[in-house]
Chain A
Amino acid sequence: MPSLKDIKNKIGGVTKTAQITRAMNMVAAAKLRGAQSKMEAFRPYAEQFHAAMAKLSTGTDDNLFPLMEVREVATVELVVVTSDRGLCGSFNANILKMAQKTKVELESVGKKVSVVCVGRKACNYFRKTGLMRKGYVDIMGTFQMFNARSIAQDCAANFLIGEADEVKIIYGRFHSLGVQRPEVITLLPIKPGASDETVQGAYIYEPSQEEIMGVLLPMFVNVMVYRAMLEVSASEHAARMTAMDNATKACKDIVNNLTLIYNKTRQAGITADLMDIVGGAEALKG
């Protein structure tokens, strides 16, 4: 049986923890708002870009552009995007699990895998496997396009020299506040979807179609990487919000239980004292 003082200390401690988790929940909520608005602002750009790419690529020979070239796949590169910090539930663990699964699947069919890690959690996970080709930490919070650009350029260069025949990106997609799911998409070779809009007449290209593609394809990779990073930031904060909310609730439960035990113990003490007094009085009487 713990003493009254022990229980009281414990209640104090848990209350403090609840304060911290509640504060973290609020911070995550504020950050989520920022990340979400950035993500939503970026969405039209990404969508228009996809649409334009689809139109542009119809009627071109895919193998004309090195970034679109489909090769026999021997090496696959995985770009794993996670957050820098933990304490956000199973969010990062889910992405890493997905990455691990994809890796094992690819290896089981005899493909070589290399990994590029974005975010500290991914770096820590893959550091010791010897598969990590490059790692980027402390860039998730800034939302800078040039960070995405340097990653995209690095991956594209690696693809072009033939070190990787396919590049996949694994990230946590933001579906809603409560749902964030890991997702794998193919980054390279670029496969723009078919255009659903029909255009009358032939396009005028300025400069030539090839030159435009030469400019747009690398930009397209940037856009995809940047989008994945935005999604991961928003998902991370949403996941942290939920996790911290749960933690705060759990703290409240624990405090309630402890208070119950505390009161019971106190009551038991009082009863015992009373028994003593009554017993003593009886003894004196007799």
Chain B
Amino acid sequence: MAALIQLDVVTPKGAIVSEQVEMVTAPGYTGVFGVLANHAPLLGTIKVGTLVYKKDGQDEMMMISGGFCEVSNNKITFLVESAERGAKIDADRALRAKERAEKRLAKVVVQKEKVDRARADAALQRALARLKAAGQRQAS
């Protein structure tokens, strides 16, 4: 049995995950990073993406959007705007959202509106992260 680390994912809508896990992989500011038990204290910002954690040898995926994370005293806490477990994601809805965002992106390239572009881009990122997190469930 590997050493465990306490994982907490907290959003404004409540705590999503609070579990003892073996390993956490998250999309950080400079790239994806992994955290094992007894990691050194860390504070970092988090981008939209998929968070993977390993529990009892099983990989669990979830979608998280921007925020930050803190590691201290063998505890890793994610404070993010939203988070969804892979199993709870509506893949069809995410797919539709992705298509919508792509269409919008294609349009705003012509109009060159920065704000719209940023928003559509963010929506696309979220949709992709959701799809990825949901895809793992279908595969397994």
Contact = CB atoms under 8 A, between A and B. Distances in A.
A207 interface: yes
Contacts of A40: 14
Interface stretch (B65-73, B101-109, B126-134): B65-73
A145 B12 CA distance: 9
B139 interface: no
Interface centre among A40, A206, A211 (most CB of B within 10 A): A206
Interface in B1-38: 8, 10-15, 28-30, 33
Given A52-B79, A197-B73, A201-B40, A206 B45 contact: yes
A125 interface: no
A228 interface: no
Contact of A203 (B30, B33, B43): B43
Contacts of B29: 206-207
B79 A199 contact: no
Given A206-B29, A212-B68, A44 B14 contact: yes
A216 B14 contact: no
A56 interface: yes
Give chain B's interface secondary structure class: strand
A216 B68 contact: yes
Contacts of B70: 48, 52, 55
B41 A202 contact: yes
A44 B41 contact: no
A161 to B, nearest CB: 22
Given A49-B79, A201-B40, A204-B43, A44 B15 contact: yes
B41 A215 contact: no
A212 B44 contact: yes
Interface residues on A, range: 20 to 34
B10 A45 contact: yes
A215 B68 CA distance: 9
B77 A48 contact: yes
A212 B29 CA distance: 10
A23 to B, nearest CB: 30
Interface in A10-57: 38, 40-42, 44-45, 48-49, 52, 55-56
A145 B65 CA distance: 14
A174 interface: no
B77 A52 contact: yes
A145 B79 CA distance: 15
25 contacts: A38-B13, A40-B14, A41-B13, A48-B79, A49-B79, A52-B43, A52-B68, A55-B43, A55-B70, A145-B81, A199-B72, A200-B41, A202-B41, A203-B41, A203-B72, A204-B40, A204-B41, A204-B43, A204-B44, A205-B43, A209-B43, A211-B45, A212-B44, A212-B45, A215-B45
Given A52-B77, A216-B68, 5 more contacts: A45-B79, A48-B8, A52-B79, A200-B73, A205-B44
Interface of A: 38, 40-42, 44-45, 48-49, 52, 55-56, 145, 197, 199-207, 209, 211-212, 215-216, 226
